Structure 1
Amino acid sequence: MIAWTKVRHLDDALLLFGPDCRRALVDTWLYLNSGPGQPALNMAWDEALLEEIARIGFPVLRTYSWAQPAATFGYFQKYDDVARFTAVRPLLRRPTGGGLVPHENDWTYSVVIPPGHPWYRTRAADSYQRLHRWLQTAFGLCGVATELVLERDPAGPGECFVGAEPDDLLWHGRKIAGAAQRRNRRGLLIQGSVQPPPAGITRAVWEKALLESLNRVEVKALVPDTDLEACVQRLASERYSRAEYHRKK
């Protein structure tokens, strides 16, 4: 059974309501800070959370970093097409769509939504906008002014952080946040990256701001159970550690 522990309190005003009313007014999310991970494990964690999210029962925000430089590319891209644009290895296929993303010092995160949650039912474009408005609010709490892209700026072939799409996040006119999604019967997975991180704030400060800018949400810490950890290890071993999986298309 998945366990969690409380990591922050609700707004004091909510204490004016009875417990039944509070449950109706407040959403519950789980948070997992995985820290630095090997590239194969990073991808395995995100897909494992998607596989297990219906059982977990609450939306999950996971933040993580990279134990070594790597690059990821969209599930539907061809390895040979992408490999021409980067010398970074390992080069891994993500479980989500999107384009080529280098990883080293970026701030990486995933959002995983169970099928019973209202966010799961939103259109892909609305989901993308909702995500980046959330990030925009978090940056605002850090004193960093950002803006959403209004019109498409054509990118390089298959490269995520070259050019910009509507509702990408800009800082000083440059795209700093992009994300990719995958929705199936098990849930919705969003994988996102912030790069380059704005000067003057730390990753820890930004991660705290992400949690604080969740509206009407009680956040608890996700404590992975043995089933979730076994799923991570299986996906890392059978899929993300195998070169043939990343080259399959």
Structure 2
Amino acid sequence: MAESVFLAGATGAIGTALIPLLIDAGYTVYGSTRHAQRAAKLENAGVTPVIVDVFDLAALTKALARIEPASVIHQLTDLPRNLDPAQMAHAVVNNARIRSEGTRNLVAAASAAGARRFVAQSIAWAYRTGTRPYTETSPLDIDAPAPRSISVQGVVALETCVLEASAMTGTVLRYGQIYGPGTGSAEPAGTSPVHVEAAAAAALLALRYSPGGIYNIAEDEAEVSSAKARRELGWLPSLRNVKAADQP
């Protein structure tokens, strides 16, 4: 029987790119969405859709108890299409809630269902200004003024919850600025860009090989160093629609 994975945020940009990698690697994939109209898209991709809101702890716990996933991958975000500047102030607050309350609920439900591994999306631009390139041990900008403080506090809440989860191997992927299909940005942008397909490959590699902990995931010459992900996961920023299951 194939090992099951619950993919939270399955219809997002990284989730969409990750689904075929998981299926090619032999996993049975359950994908969550809040919107029933997106279920057909997931079914067509070979995923069993799960209509659930991460903020509904009771429903989420019930869903995961039924599925009993071996692993959970958290790719949930709450961002406007094309990162519309007019909506970003509100989105920052919503996204921080996903990272704090949403992650807390997802970890609790995963733990109750007996999941053994948990991989979560974080960001690589929450570091305090200092010596570059930033590594995973560089301090986060926890004293940042608002509105940056909202995002950083959300990141801290997410990462603490995942890394302190008992009975699960917790891995945090600090992604750089995502570009590529489904992201609203066709070309690299920002200080630490990463292609969406390379980001998806990092999630699969973390699922299979991570001993737990934090990994920066960004391209060469970025503001952050991804040497740890290269070394421990066999991840490369050049990965595009490949069968990452055989890495490293």
Q: What is the TM-score normalised by the length of structure 2?
A: 0.33
TM-score, normalised by the number of residues in structure 1: 0.33
Larger relative contact order (CA 8 Å, sep ≥ 6)? 1
Q: Looking at secondary structure, tell me which structure has more helix per residue.
A: 2
Question: As a proportion of its length, which structure holds more strand?
Answer: 1
